[in-house]
Amino acid sequence: QSGSSFHVFDQGRFAKEVLPKYFKHNNMASFVRQLNMYGFRKVVHIEQGGLVKPEKDDTEFQHPYFIRGQEHLLENIKRKVTSVSSIKNEDIKVRQDNVTKLLTDIQVMKGKQESMDSKLIAMK
């Protein structure tokens, strides 16, 4: 591996055996929420398309400052703090516009998917 991410290969076992050693819970969803709060992101491989569940139980997470052999970067991994006062109205407007565009794109993709599905059925 490149050393720029880490994998959880067996979520059930990880939650049961590892999480209770370091957290007051054994809940994988809570662990993932914590990772997200610190800026870690789940790695989604293109071939999975992000929509298809992979056959093997392998979840991969990465963070720009989580790199093997670069321990000095770890201090840059901080919990994200969002105070209401720091969010400007125009930021909210931009975010709403982005969400609207995303939803529109998703609808278009759904339409194309349904069209492809019906063509596949017709071909069969």
Domain locations in the chain as residue ranges: 5-80, 81-123
Query: What's the pLDDT score for residue 58?
Result: 85
Query: What's the pLDDT score for residue 6?
Result: 94
Q: Has residue 35 got a pLDDT over 70?
A: yes
Q: Which pair of tokens denotes residue 54?
A: 């992979």
Q: Which CATH class is domain 5-80?
A: mainly alpha
* Mean pLDDT of the region 100-110: 89
| Rounded CA separation 85/80 (Å) | 15
Query: What's the pLDDT score for residue 49?
Result: 55
What single DSSP character describes residue 44? -
| Rounded CA separation 67/38 (Å) | 15
Taking alpha carbons only, the member of 44, 47, 54 closest to residue 11 is 54
Confidence of residue 2 (pLDDT cuts 50, 70, 90): confident
